[in-house]
A = this chain, B = another copy of it.
Amino acid sequence: MNIAQTFNAALIQLKHGDDIAQYIAKAAQQGANLVVLPELHDHAYFCQVKDTINFSLASPIPSSVTDHYSQLAQKHAVVLVTSLFEKTADTKFYNTAVIFDTDGTLVGKYRKMHIPDGPNYYEKFYFSEGDLGFKPIQTSIGKIGLLVCWDQWFPEAARLMTLAGADILVYPTAIGWEPTDTSDEKQRQLDAWMIIQRAHAVANSVPVISCNRHGFEEDVSQSTAGIDFWGNSFICGPQGEILVTTDDSESTIISAEIDLSRTAAIREVWPYLPDRRIDSYDDLNQCFRDKK
């Protein structure tokens, strides 16, 4: 495959209920070669509550749902990153991101490996832990290290994708504030989220795209104050430098030119990877090392 070194990357920051097809068309019209959607974009964020009725939202892959996005990718000739609720033939459920190439081909999927579970985010109730490992997906714009939301807090995930040749890391995500938190606490959480993803860019010398939803969604059980999804989607370059970002308040398309050749240039000046002490990293596959 002939991979372009530069391309236009767009992410679509959405709130639940937005017309996704229309936004994809607009992004393509603005010149996007890659279009990224937020996590679980087809639904309200149903994981706020534990209710078996929500399993009916899941679909097989492939299905009419993937056919729909395949057609949009082909129609607009974009590499399209989607995030779907997958149901398998043996009735397992996954939080699965799926990529379609410019000709509509479903080129690969990633099943979210790190699954959160806690108030407002009962994902372990719905999703099995991903079973496909950390494998980048080859597309016509490069090898995409596709990860999802909670994965963003784990440097291991970013590293494993990079070690497997990812040219860029892409995170569909759905994260927000608890409305009752103080504004200081909200700022710390948002900053931590920006910092850690930008740090994955730094550590691995690859660009990062993080596409979040925005807007308030209630907890239908009324047992919490709901989630105020914090937007602030961004694209950064391989030094973690912000190329483009948004705020928490709007449905919008933001885009940046990505030059994949910068990764190699930066790695020559900041050669982290060759200095990794792989002889001393075995315990990274341990929970705790306090026995030593």
Contact = CB atoms under 8 A, between A and B. Distances in A.
Contact of A199 (B118, B129, B199, B281): B199
Contact of A163 (B115, B202, B283): B283
Nearest to A189: B239
Nearest to A290: B165
Given A278-B287, A284-B281, A285-B282, A196 B240 contact: yes
A164 interface: yes
Interface string A97-130: 0000000000000000111101000000000010
Contacts of A279: 285
A153 B270 contact: yes
B133 A164 contact: no
A240 B192 contact: yes
A69 to B, nearest CB: 27
A188 B238 CA distance: 10
Interface string A246-287: 000000000000000000000001111111111111111111
Contacts of A159: 155-156, 284
18 contacts: A116-B275, A135-B292, A153-B270, A154-B203, A155-B199, A155-B203, A156-B276, A156-B284, A157-B277, A159-B284, A163-B283, A163-B288, A165-B289, A188-B240, A192-B241, A196-B203, A199-B202, A278-B285
Given A114-B277, A115-B275, A191-B241, 9 more contacts: A118-B271, A135-B292, A156-B276, A157-B277, A160-B281, A192-B241, A196-B203, A199-B202, A284-B285
